[in-house]
Amino acid sequence: MIYPFNAAEAFKIAISIEENGLEFYQKAAEIIGSGPVADLFRALAEEEKTHKSLFIDFLASVKDQGPTVFDPENETDAYLKMMADLHVFRQKPGAVAEALATVKTAREALKLAINFEKDTVIFFVELKAAVGEQADRLEVDKLIFEEASHIRKLARVYSKQI
């Protein structure tokens, strides 16, 4: 059977990833309380909200387009789902809370955040490759840049933690 890949499902996964990021940053900021790490996490939570809104807009635009990439073996869909399932906060329900339960220091929270963002960048790079419309790929590029900027911000603060 021939299955055309539709980016709508991938965008739904991306929305879920952004929701998990928002939850992580909000809860991590609460755990840490105050200081530069908590402030950074609060700012990143706001950025995750913006990213989620962008993916919601992408989802609305692709729903009406139908299939975006011809995928006769349904490999793209299966691959993206596998990549999403390996994402640090999509492995099982409650993964964010479970991961944060082990966090004792701001440095540990930063390390977890960096891993989350790296997983997100990898997923978005693969998502971009699966999206058929050039305009959508350019928008995903913007989000990849944003997520990579999160890694840079986190790494700067991480390097200052003792």
CATH number of the domain where residue 20 is located? 1.20.1260.10
104 vs 152, higher pLDDT: 152
More confident residue, 63 or 50: 50
pTM of the model: 0.75
Q: What span, in angstroms and rounded, lies between the C-alpha atoms of 89 and 14? A: 12
Region 121-150: mean pLDDT is 79
- For 147, other C-beta atoms within 10 Å of its C-beta total 25
CA angle 50, 95, 45 (to 5 degrees): 20
The confidence score (pLDDT) of residue 65 equals 54
Closest CA to 14 of 102, 89, 99: 89
Of the pLDDT bands very low, low, confident and very high (cuts 50, 70, 90), residue 156 is very high
How confident is the prediction for the chain on average, in pLDDT? 78
pLDDT category, 3, cuts 50, 70, 90?
Answer: very low
Q: What share of the chain is helix, strand, coil (3-state, %, to 5)?
A: 75, 5, 20
Q: Which of 22, 4, 157 is nearest to 71 (CA)?
A: 4
Return the number of other C-beta atoms located less than 10 Å from residue 134's C-beta.
8
Higher pLDDT, 119 or 66: 119
* Domains identified in the chain, total number: 1
Expressed as residue numbers, the domain containing 39 is 3-160
